[in-house]
Amino acid sequence: MKTLLAIAAVCAMVCAGPSLAADTTTKSTDTKAPNSQQEKMKACNEQAGDKKGDERKAFMKTCLSAKPMAAAKPESKMAMCNKKTAGLTKDERAKAQSECMKAS
């Protein structure tokens, strides 16, 4: 019984060995992508420019602590045309809407 368990343990190690080795080699070749904090730090450094000392420190603090701007959705063509033609009379608005929608 002990030999059967020993043989089973050796087989398990032999079978698991190559798969573990393959996993470690793929992980070492992966390149890490910069995370958002690193990108934010890079952008703030570029914006800081020639600032030095306390001025730079204060700028970096506010820049890094600022919340990211929400990704603005592009305004639909219809919404843009509606804003452009606001306040026009019915006939003028209809004509302007038509021209606006045709324009690229």
- Classify residue 23: in a domain, yes or no: no
**Which of 22-26, 29-33, 46-50, 56-60 shows the lowest mean pLDDT across its residues?**
22-26
Give the range of the structural domain holding residue 49, as residue numbers without chain letter.
34-64
Residue 49 pLDDT: 84
- DSSP assigned state of 66: S
SS3 71: coil
Co-location of 38 and 60 in the same domain: yes
pLDDT at 69 over 80: no
HSE, side-chain direction, 13 A CA sphere, residue 38: 4
- Classify residue 10: in a domain, yes or no: no
- Classify residue 18: in a domain, yes or no: no
- Classify residue 19: in a domain, yes or no: no
For the chain, how many structural domains are there in total? 2
Residue 29 pLDDT: 47
- Classify residue 48: in a domain, yes or no: yes
Q: Sorting pLDDT into bands at 50, 70 and 90, what band is 91? A: very high
- Classify residue 28: in a domain, yes or no: no
Asked whether the whole model's pTM tops 0.85, one would answer no
Q: Side chain identity at 49, as an amino acid letter?
A: G
% of the chain surpassing 70 pLDDT: 67
All residues at 6 or more sequence positions from 28 whose CB lies less than 8 Å from its CB, including other chains = none
